[in-house]
Chain A
Amino acid sequence: KAGVTQTPRYLIKTRGQQVTLSCSPISGHRSVSWYQQTPGQGLQFLFEYFSETQRNKGNFPGRFSGRQFSNSRSEMNVSTLELGDSALYLCASSLHVVRGSYEQYFGPGTRLTVT
């Protein structure tokens, strides 16, 4: 079974631009979560989608948004990029959809650099 895939793997953007990152979950997984990893803050939860609905959101500004499609694929968007948005963005999928999360399986991440 194929793992979680993320595209693109690397991205360089300029301050003020916007970016869209894509995630395809493991086949059969309907819950998709997004995380931001930075050296200073570690792995921080962004949001979770299930059945095309955002069920949970972390403590990030409204510039960070996402969506999920009927095939469970997900995208996240960051508008008006800031230097501090430079990070590794990770997508994770899970078979479990009840509260408590349980095992999540991560993609390789998208390395975003904002200049």
Chain B
Amino acid sequence: DQQVKQNSPSLSVQEGRISILNCDYTNSMFDYFLWYKKYPAEGPTFLISISSIKDKNEDGRFTVFLNKSAKHLSLHIVPSQPGDSAVYFCAASGLGTSYGKLTFGQGTILTVHP
């Protein structure tokens, strides 16, 4: 039962353009969502988060959009840089879920070409 899904295993983008990574969830109890970036042989690095009371959150080049009715969130990276090439995971948690548990999607490999 995959409660958080990232349906695109990979995404290729040209440097300077926008990268859009998508994530869908099924559990209505989720009310907090996070995006992480992961390089090989390293742990995930927290990027940005959004609460379900908002529909948008920005931090520099990163913006996360949340559509609660569609149970969908997306991460926009503008402009994309070669250093952004990594695996991106979306994760979810909520007051209705258990302590200390993030539920992760399977990840999307982003490649930004110079």
Contacts and interface: CB of A to CB of B under 8 A. Distances in A.
B101 interface: yes
Contact of B104 (A42, A50, A108, A111): A42
Interface in B86-114: 89, 91, 93-107
Contacts, number: 87
B74 to A, nearest CB: 19
A81 interface: no
Interface residues of A, number: 33
Q: Is the interface of B mostly helix, strand, loop or mixed?
A: loop
Residues of B in contact with A, size category: 20 to 34
A19 B113 CA distance: 41
B108 to A, nearest CB: 12
Interface stretch (B17-25, B40-48, B55-63): B40-48
A15 interface: no
A90 B34 CA distance: 17
Interface of B: 31-32, 34, 36, 41-46, 49, 89, 91, 93-107
